[in-house]
Amino acid sequence: MRILHIILLSILSTLAGIAFLAYEHEWIIIRSPWNASAHYSAPGVSKQKITLWYWNQNQFKQETKELIIADDVEKKAATIIANWLTHLHDEKIIKNKITLQSALLDPAGTHLYISFDQSIFDKQQSTHEKWMLLEGLLRTLRENGIKLQGVYFLVNHAVMMDEHLEFGNAWKA
């Protein structure tokens, strides 16, 4: 009977040691239910309110959203642009579901290259509507703390082509 107690005590001690090791290496996270206000965040990431600007019915409108945003400017810009595109599609301002392929800064960090999987313009849009659509994106970036000198618009990583607007040069941000 004494041997059985020793074996049982050894097994329990081993299991307790494994549980403690897992807790110390954060393989197991124990959170108390009475401390519900505690939250965990990854380094370099924070929850922020962003404002999306867009042109609709001959005026600029804005929508505020709360998003998890990276501190890195490229990642922040990509998150904001992707949410801007989704919002415009949801509001039926752009007909096609457009995907952001990439948003990359130049080495100096002054110019942003934005590549979409297709043009963000509809063939029936006027030059003014196209211009205001882009101005909404530029305003969204500017007012959410993305400080740039210029933005290049690309489709499939090539210069965006349009019969009304010029995309060979950067647009002033």
Q: Would you say residue 104 lies in a domain? A: yes
Residue 37 lies in a domain: no
Are 139 and 151 contacting, i.e. CB atoms less than 8 angstroms apart? no
Q: How many CB atoms lie within 10 A of CB 105?
A: 16
Strands 59-70 and 45-56: antiparallel
pLDDT (tens place) for every residue of the chain, 173 residues total? 788 888 888 898 998 888 877 778 777 777 766 654 445 556 789 999 999 999 999 999 999 999 999 999 999 999 999 999 999 999 999 999 999 999 999 999 999 999 999 999 988 899 999 999 999 999 999 999 999 999 999 999 999 999 999 999 999 98
Residue 28 lies in a domain: no
Q: Which domain holds residue 113?
A: 45-172
Q: Flag whether 29 is in a domain.
A: no
What is the per-residue pLDDT for 85?
97
What's the structural domain count of the chain?
Answer: 1
pLDDT at site 35: 53
pTM for the model: 0.75
Residue 55 resides in a domain: yes
Q: For the range 75-78, what are the long-range contacts, defined as Cβ-Cβ under 8 Å and sequence gap of 24 or more?
A: 76/144, 76/145, 76/146, 77/103, 77/105, 77/112, 77/114, 77/141, 77/146, 78/102, 78/103
The rounded distance, in Å, linking the Cα atoms of 62 and 18 is 53
| 135: in domain | yes
